[in-house]
């Protein structure tokens, strides 16, 4: 094995510092003005992106350009659109799912307030006559807290419209006094996939389920019948428990050239859909496909995604195949060949003492729990991992060998070579340090530079769901969001799997990266050895818990050990904690794991300023209290 490079987590473009924000704000304006001055005027363009309710975006729009946002809503949603900080007058338009204009406002602070009367994908458009205008657009609103579908006699399927990203509590009721008690047989999401559910209460006239995350657009189908084959008439109602609050921006990230991810309607044939659009089918996921556009369409991924969505009724949503990265961290002791660190240093490090790991392991050790590590691969021969690694999958090389790899190339052009190498091994080792009897399910979704596409990560999540994972670790992220990946995360949660994700290393005090921002995920930020927020870590009230993330010691490929810093490693430690909790409460729901992580966390030190304490979210992870 060649000498390993100094490990560094890949950069994620999360919320920057105030000075960095100012640079990002002025640079696009300068570029747009430059285009207008050189050669007269820039060519008008049109872009369309997906947006989430209670999300926001900041961008620069040129004169004549159209910035459109697709917003999936259910009937009864009170929608509030706001333009803020626009440099010039803009025109804001809301269109119905059929394309009809519902409302228009033109001003520097344009706004629209409407309660929508139908379910579907609405379109928000922004235009301006100015040469280049910076703006912030907010998508605020409140979805109806409850609703329901029709009725069925002697059993059948009832459809209910629910907002994607919501947590809903479903109840089947018997209509009238006579007939058998209702029984829910199956729940399917908008892609036709079966969703795991748990009965919370069952009575003679109703059956209620525990909250289920809505993992895809298109609502939910519920199969209901009379208990023990009896007859009756039944209806289904739902109550909204929680909604994904859109805590990430929706700017475009780095994209895989000429590659789109298409979410398909239930029953759609992947090959037929790809052929009808004139695209090449690359791979098929559970509810989505990955296609390649023609050779002359490089750079037109957003436009082609919009075209695919508009051209085929079998396409629920379309987006470019965007890259996510392992977050960048500050290294206090890089791994080098000949390091003097060893296994004893891992097991005796202050990070474990800070979480009271030894006391927790007197109650649980992770026995019988499977932790899926979706990362750069794993060195299964390392002494800290040997005997704990299950057969895995590689969604980068597309084979059954999820081992760490080095290719000696700067694939992402950032001046660093193989900077992702060792990341997965390190995280898996940390999880096992906390839960030494757990099993690791290795899923390689990041390349040797620590990058992975939306399609690879979504496929990896679905594979982990199908192959026995109880906990999924996602030490990766981006500052944009993805409908396909968000759906995959919610699908895992809906099937009873706890998802743990890193908040990112942009140093943002009040925002976290995607997919840690998805509702129901254990979002983990980092603290330094003194218990204060790590300077590099994203955090804030949206973070579930904080765990040690600075100078953490763990295993590295080739029987080596090293120290590494970043929220990635905080998430790895928290995944081990989740495994301990799942062992003690095998039927615990992911939502209950999130609550318990928060409720048992130790408060931030009172010596910290209030703003610093808020950065730690629910508080500092306490493993002993977690499993009591």
d(Cα 122, Cα 136) in Å, to the nearest integer?
19
E-state strands within 76-196: 78-84, 90-95, 101-107, 111-115, 120-128, 132-142, 146-153, 156-160, 166-174, 182-188
How many Cβ atoms from other residues are within 10 Å of residue 532's Cβ?
19
Q: Are 547 and 621 in contact (CB under 8 A)?
A: yes
d(Cα 185, Cα 526) in Å, to the nearest integer?
42
502-512: burial string, b at 16+ Cβ within 10 Å, e else: bbbbbbbbebb
Q: Residue 78 has which token pair?
A: 């009170």
Residues 249, 568, 570, 575: which is the catalytic one? 568
How many Cβ atoms from other residues are within 10 Å of residue 58's Cβ?
17
Catalytic (active site) residue 375:
yes
d(Cα 248, Cα 55) in Å, to the nearest integer?
7
Residues 309, 375, 379, 487: which is the catalytic one? 375
Backbone angles phi, psi at 359, to 5 degrees: -65, -40
Catalytic (active site) residue 388:
no
Residues 423, 447, 482, 517: which is the catalytic one? 423
d(Cα 457, Cα 474) in Å, to the nearest integer?
9
3-state SS, one letter per residue, for 238-291: EEEEEECCCCCCCCCCCEEEEEEEEEECCCCCHHHHHHHHCCEEEEECCCEEEE
Report how far apart, in Å, the C-alpha atoms of 200 and of each of 59, 513, 622 are: 45, 33, 29
Catalytic (active site) residue 423:
yes
Backbone angles phi, psi at 545, to 5 degrees: -160, 160
**Active site residue ranges:** 375, 423, 568
């Amino acid at each position: 094995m060649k000498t390993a490079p100094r490990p560094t987590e890949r950069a994620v473009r999360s919320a920057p510092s105030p000075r960095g924000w100012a640079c990002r704000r002025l640079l696009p304006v300068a570029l747009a003005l430059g285009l207008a001055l050189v050669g007269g005027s820039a060519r008008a363009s049109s872009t369309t992106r997906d947006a989430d309710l209670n999300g926001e975006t900041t961008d620069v729009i040129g004169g004549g350009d159209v910035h459109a946002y697709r917003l999936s809503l259910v009937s009864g949603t009170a929608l509030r659109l706001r333009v803020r900080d626009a440099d010039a007058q803009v025109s804001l338009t809301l269109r119905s799912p059929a394309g009809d204009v519902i409302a228009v406002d033109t001003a520097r602070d344009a706004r629209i307030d409407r309660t929508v009367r139908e379910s579907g994908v609405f379109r928000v458009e922004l235009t301006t006559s100015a040469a280049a205008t910076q703006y912030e657009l907010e998508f605020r609103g409140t979805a109806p807290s409850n609703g329901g579908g029709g009725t069925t006699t002697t059993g059948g399927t009832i459809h209910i419209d629910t907002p994607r990203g919501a947590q809903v509590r479903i109840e089947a009721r018997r209509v009238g006094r006579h007939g058998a008690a209702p029984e829910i047989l199956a729940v399917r999401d908008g892609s036709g996939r079966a969703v795991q559910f748990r009965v919370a209460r069952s009575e003679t006239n109703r059956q209620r389920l525990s909250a289920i995350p809505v993992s895809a657009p298109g609502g939910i189908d519920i199969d209901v019948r009379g208990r023990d084959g009896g007859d009756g008439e039944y209806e289904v109602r739902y109550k909204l428990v929680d909604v994904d609050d859109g805590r990430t921006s929706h700017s475009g990230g780095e994209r895989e050239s000429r590659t789109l991810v298409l979410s398909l309607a239930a029953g759609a044939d992947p090959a037929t859909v790809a052929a009808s659009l004139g695209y090449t089918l690359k791979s098929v996921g559970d509810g989505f496909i990955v296609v390649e556009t023609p050779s002359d369409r490089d750079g037109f991924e957003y436009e082609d995604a919009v075209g695919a969505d508009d051209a085929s009724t079998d396409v629920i949503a379309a987006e470019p195949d965007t890259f996510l990265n392992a977050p960048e961290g500050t290294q206090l002791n890089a791994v080098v060949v000949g390091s003097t660190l060893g296994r004893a240093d891992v097991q005796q490090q202050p990070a474990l003492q800070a979480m009271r790991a030894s006391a927790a392991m007197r109650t649980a050790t992770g026995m019988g729990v499977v932790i899926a590590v979706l990362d750069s691969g794993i060195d299964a021969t390392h002494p800290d991992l040997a005997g704990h690694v299950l057969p895995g999958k590689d969604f980068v090389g597309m084979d059954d060998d999820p081992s760490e790899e080095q290719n000696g190339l700067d694939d992402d052009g950032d001046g660093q070579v193989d900077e992702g190498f060792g990341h997965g091994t390190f995280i898996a080792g940390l999880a096992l340090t906390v839960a030494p009897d757990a099993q690791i399910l290795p899923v390689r979704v990041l390349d040797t530079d620590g990058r992975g596409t939306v399609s690879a990560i979504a496929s990896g999540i679905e594979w982990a769901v199908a192959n026995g994972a109880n906990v999924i670790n996602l030490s990766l992220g981006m500052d944009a969001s993805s409908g396909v990946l968000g759906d995959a995360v919610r699908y895992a949660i809906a099937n009873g799997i706890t998802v743990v994700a890193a908040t990112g290393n942009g140093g943002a005090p009040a925002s976290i990266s995607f997919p840690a921002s998805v509702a129901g995920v254990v979002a983990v930020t980092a603290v330094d050895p003194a218990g204060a927020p790590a300077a590099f870590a994203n955090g804030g009230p949206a973070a579930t818990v904080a765990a040690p993330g600075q100078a953490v010691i763990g295993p590295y490929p080739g029987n080596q050990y090293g120290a590494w810093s970043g929220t990635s490693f905080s998430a790895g430690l928290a995944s081990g904690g989740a495994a301990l909790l799942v062992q003690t409460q095998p039927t615990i729901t992911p939502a209950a794991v999130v609550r318990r992580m928060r409720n048992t966390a130790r408060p931030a030190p009172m010596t910290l300023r209030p703003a610093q304490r808020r950065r730690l979210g629910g508080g500092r992870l306490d493993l002993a209290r977690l499993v009591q």
